[in-house]
Structure 1
Amino acid sequence: MNRASLLELLKHPQRTTALSPSGWTEFIATARNANLLGKLAQRLHAANVSVPAAPLRHLEGARLLSERQHHSVAWEAQCIDATLAQTGEPVVLLKGAAYVLGRKAAGVGRLFGDIDVLVPPGSLGKVEIRLMAGGWTQMKSEAYDQRYYREWMHELPPMIHVRRGTVIDVHHTILPLTARSHPDADAIIAHSKPLPGHRSLRIPCDEDLIIHSMCHLAHEGELHNALRDLDDIDSLLREHADSPDFWDRLGDRAQLHDLAAPVALCLMLARQFFDTPVPESLVLRLAGADADAAAIRRLAGLYDAAIVPDPEGRPPLRSLAAQLLIYIRSHWLRMPPRLLVQHLSRKAWQRLSLASGAGPKNEQGA
């Protein structure tokens, strides 16, 4: 199944009634590999579409899994709130957890594996100690990984709860400290909104929630969730598409966060993939001068070639080449050249040591 067919059926689930048995098989496999099966299942369920028995089993499994995950994330949020409320610090939920608990359309049917939070940089010590006292422990034990996260990245090393097995990523900003752009994390926290029923948890304002999703897509080197992330962005934008001043506010926040180009790129991609009603004036405003705008359009073309869902997870060679270029670009954006060479060399040596049996058995690469 090609991408156009997948997107068409995601946008118009009623049209799945025309699928043959083999068409259903390919559709289910492609949606699963794109991490969109939960969303697809919820949309078919909401539209009351009659689905044959065989694909229905897969869809109902994905729908029930998403509902169970949403109950789990609500409970986990309560546990995090109870653990961190004593710090007196704001704890801002990001991405999937924010979509679900903020009751955003982007959260419906969404599957995810961990909870991301943003806290003030000065509170990292208090937050980490409280989480450890509450049962979370570090997932990265190797000394270099600890240094990598704590000196250069935008988050602590991931932590896992010893009993529940749930993972939390504690951010103090939304891009690595060594990245070329420098978003204003203080502004994200200051403009966040309290989450009803919780003492410390908050949700980013709508513009920052969207910009963070775009920032993640535009700077992430792994594209296995890219189509799902674009679907998130489309859903988030459509909630405000008819608000007369929303697009200006979005542009203002993108410029405040030093993320005008990534937001312009993602607006182009949302329009390209999902026909999102994005004003051309905003794209032109954020894309900048003619040379910059042309570079962003070329990059959008690279993403267009790279994001090609496949039922067997084996995209064509052209897509693999585009994915490799985006992966290289993500590292180039993450670190200055000298530090990047040092980091990649160190990680390559660690992998060789592990392969030869000389390295620590429990090491996980950053």
Structure 2
Amino acid sequence: MADLLTPFWARPEQRPDWQDRAWEAAMGQARRGRLTARLALKLSEMPGGLDAVPSPQRDFLQGALRVVHRHRQDVLFELDQVRRSMKGVPGPIVLLKGAAYLAAELPAARGRVFSDIDLMVAEGSLEQAESALLGGGWISQERDAYNQRYYRQWMHEIPPLEHVQRGTVLDLHHTISPPTSRFKVDGRSLLARARPLGDSGFHVLAPEDMVLHSAVHLYQEGEFDHGMRDLLDLHELLLDFGRDPSFWPTLVARAEELSLGEPLSVLLTQRQQLLGIVPPADLTEPLKAFQPHWPRRQVMQSLLALALRPQHPDCDTLLSRCARRALYLRSHLIRMPLHLLVPHLVRKAWMARMSAAPAPDEGAA
């Protein structure tokens, strides 16, 4: 069975002609890619709606829509708790990714379910923000001293915080990419252009920064279990923001300013290849100037096209698994220089081996 979801999104107005076995495969592929509710919404907007879907799959899709509705309520409740806890933290509190899409009521939030809430504050406010969240009941589950130092010294976020009662997880950032990354970004530049979200007490990134965050996140990603979902996020943001004629020139200029032209150009090409959407013609040359040199560009496009396939037995191949493995290794190489990366990976391998070792027999002499 082939990849059914990519062609589906490439032809969003055409109802799929899947038969029984194909419907089962499509449900499995959507579930693995966290796309079930998005698939349900797309199908519900087509002639015949969900009534035209076979009964077992229709029930499954309707259930996914109920989950999304409940998820939205839960996230809004958590955001209110976060706002109360962080009331005294100076500077803007910026929502990122799924939480930002939902709170700002962007099309990218439709059908999207996510496991944690991403926030960003100024680096100088991190300690106060963390203390405020600790007071609200969120604590770090990371007990290893090395991992704590790894996050705080080399990453763009502190270790995840989990609520002691509700189990909700917060990722507290000070920028959108590791400071050791080839695509590092000064968080102050992002905060300076962040926009208030009504009277909610939160901000969101400027539209062009939101798109660039989506692009750089996927470009240096190492895990692709929901890679197609992330590409669709980027796609929906571009469709929405692109209705403003000034958006695309602003996006290109901002990509150059933040040195994020390469991730943007590569992901736009991937979007074009998979979904058939072409950027504005007058920006072809500026975007082309961002592209990496031919060999690297071709390799990246080929690897991403394979890695973005649903990780489902029906369409997963040895080639796609190798592509994801190569991109996983690449993600480490572009996030950290070798003199930091090699000791870090050696330690991780050693700790994994030690944790897998059988415990000593307590009854032995």
The TM-score, its normalising length taken from structure 2, stands at 0.92
> Given the alignment of the two structures, is residue 296 of structure 1 paired with residue 288 of structure 2, yes or no?
no
Alignment partner, residue 76 of structure 1: 78
Deviations 1:308-340 (A, max 9, x none): 225437721111111111111100001111210
Residue 240 (structure 1) shift: 3.0
Percent identity of equivalent pairs: 35
Residue identity matched to 1:163? Q
Residue 157 (structure 1) shift: 0.3
Deviations 1:205-248 (A, max 9, x none): 11111110111100111111111111111111111334322211
Deviations 1:178-204 (A, max 9, x none): 1122213112111111112312x1111
Distance 1:238 1:43 in 2: 15
Residue 73 (structure 1) shift: 1.0
Alignment partner, residue 270 of structure 1: 271
Distance 1:333 1:290 in 2: 16
1:285-364 to structure 2, matched below 5 A, reads: 285-288=286-289, 292=293, 295-312=296-313, 315-357=316-358
Change over 3 Å in CA distance of 1:28–1:281 after alignment to 2 = same
Alignment partner, residue 41 of structure 1: 40
> Given the alignment of the two structures, is residue 8 of structure 1 paired with residue 7 of structure 2, yes or no?
yes
Residues 156 and 171 of structure 1 are in contact (CA less than 8 Å); yes or no, is this contact kept in structure 2?
A: yes
Distance 2:81 2:228 in 1: 31
What secondary structure sits across from 1:271 in the alignment?
helix
What secondary structure sits across from 1:87 in the alignment?
coil
Instruction: Between 144-153 and 177-186, report the one with greater CA deviation.
Output: 177-186
1:206-285 to structure 2, matched below 5 A, reads: 206-279=207-280, 282=283, 284-285=285-286
What secondary structure sits across from 1:85 in the alignment?
coil
Alignment partner, residue 139 of structure 1: 141
Change over 3 Å in CA distance of 1:311–1:116 after alignment to 2 = same
Residue 44 (structure 1) shift: 2.1
Residue 11 (structure 1) shift: 5.2
CA RMSD of aligned residues (A): 2.1
Distance 2:314 2:341 in 1: 29
Unaligned runs of 5+ in 1: 360-366
Change over 3 Å in CA distance of 1:358–1:195 after alignment to 2 = farther
Alignment partner, residue 181 of structure 1: 183
Residues 27 and 311 of structure 1 are in contact (CA less than 8 Å); yes or no, is this contact kept in structure 2?
A: no
Instruction: Between 116-125 and 53-62, report the one with greater CA deviation.
Output: 53-62
Distance 1:282 1:226 in 2: 26
Change over 3 Å in CA distance of 1:342–1:310 after alignment to 2 = closer
Residues 264 and 283 of structure 1 are in contact (CA less than 8 Å); yes or no, is this contact kept in structure 2?
A: no
Deviations 1:275-333 (A, max 9, x none): 22313553542443786255324311221122222543772111111111111110000
Distance 1:119 1:138 in 2: 17
Deviations 1:52-80 (A, max 9, x none): 21001211121111111111111111111
What secondary structure sits across from 1:130 in the alignment?
helix
Paired residue for 2:158, among 156, 164, 173? 156
Distance 1:355 1:296 in 2: 39
Residue 260 (structure 1) shift: 0.9
Distance 1:354 1:265 in 2: 39
Change over 3 Å in CA distance of 1:284–1:292 after alignment to 2 = farther
Residue identity matched to 1:21? D
Residues 38 and 110 of structure 2 are in contact (CA less than 8 Å); yes or no, is this contact kept in structure 1?
A: yes
Residue identity matched to 2:252? G
What secondary structure sits across from 1:173 in the alignment?
coil
Alignment partner, residue 363 of structure 1: none
Distance 1:49 1:254 in 2: 40
Distance 1:30 1:85 in 2: 42
Distance 2:169 2:83 in 1: 15
Aligned residues between the structures? 357
Residues 6 and 31 of structure 1 are in contact (CA less than 8 Å); yes or no, is this contact kept in structure 2?
A: yes
Alignment partner, residue 362 of structure 1: none
Unaligned runs of 5+ in 2: 361-365
Residue 15 (structure 1) shift: 4.4
Change over 3 Å in CA distance of 1:311–1:302 after alignment to 2 = closer
The TM-score, its normalising length taken from structure 1, stands at 0.92
Residues 33 and 313 of structure 1 are in contact (CA less than 8 Å); yes or no, is this contact kept in structure 2?
A: no
Alignment partner, residue 200 of structure 2: 198
Distance 1:85 1:173 in 2: 20
Residue identity matched to 1:78? D
Structure 1 runs of 4+ with >4 Å offset? 11-17
What secondary structure sits across from 1:255 in the alignment?
helix
What secondary structure sits across from 2:119 in the alignment?
strand
Alignment partner, residue 363 of structure 2: none
Residue identity matched to 1:73? V
What secondary structure sits across from 2:88 in the alignment?
helix
Residues 8 and 16 of structure 2 are in contact (CA less than 8 Å); yes or no, is this contact kept in structure 1?
A: no
Residue 357 (structure 1) shift: 4.9
Distance 2:291 2:238 in 1: 25
Paired residue for 2:59, among 57, 60, 69? 57
Instruction: Between 214-223 and 49-58, report the one with greater CA deviation.
Output: 49-58
Residue identity matched to 2:19? S
Distance 1:308 1:189 in 2: 34
> Given the alignment of the two structures, is residue 117 of structure 1 paired with residue 116 of structure 2, yes or no?
no
